Amino acid sequence: MEGFNMNTVTLGVAGRDAFSKRFAAAMRGQAQGQFISFETPELLFQTLTQLRWNILKAMTGAGVLSIREVARRVERDVKRVHEDVGALLAVGVLERTEEGVVFPYDAIHVDFTLQAQAA
């Protein structure tokens, strides 16, 4: 993937087959990059709501932040941001540290394909 570095994460939709292929390639020593995959587009959109996407944008490349600082950056109530951060932590999009929370990437690439359904 030209233009991507190891600090870019790809958010996408990937079923078990795609995950297994990436895992097998990684086991053969082929670099795969960083991925956060959702099983369906619906699950991706249910998880990455507009408000949560705003949190990711504010946290991209920012290092470790307190939830209060995240709330300040997205101009939202701390309690509501805490709920959204909890949801992102639960699915592994964010990571918790002793000092706060972190989205450890400098860039986000979103990748999925919408195909026509058979009539």
- Confidence class for position 40, pLDDT limits 50, 70, 90: confident
Which CATH number, 1.10.10.10, 3.40.710.10, 3.30.980.10, 3.30.1490.20, labels domain 48-104? Answer: 1.10.10.10
Please, are residues 61 and 105 in contact by the beta-carbon 8 Å criterion?
yes
Residue type at position 81: V
48 vs 61: CA distance, rounded Å: 18
Closest CA to 99 of 74, 58, 68: 68
Contacts of 59 (CB under 8 A, 6+ apart): 65, 70, 73, 94, 101, 102, 103
For residues 35-44, one letter each, b for 16 or more C-beta atoms within 10 angstroms of the residue's C-beta and e for the rest, the string is: ebbbeeeeeb
Whether 79 has a pLDDT exceeding 70, the answer reads yes
- In this prediction, residues 47-75 reach a mean pLDDT of 96
pLDDT tens digits, residue range 50-60? 999 999 999 99
User: Please, are residues 12 and 37 in contact by the beta-carbon 8 Å criterion?
Assistant: yes
Cα–Cα distance for residue pair 55/60, rounded to 1 Å? 9
Residue 29 has pLDDT above 70, yes or no: no
Domain parsing of the chain, residue ranges: 1-39, 48-104
Is it the case that residue 111 has pLDDT exceeding 60?
Answer: yes
**pLDDT, tens digit, 9 for 90 and up, residues 1-25:** 444 445 888 888 876 676 566 556 5
Q: Which uninterrupted H or E stretch holds 55?
A: helix 50-59
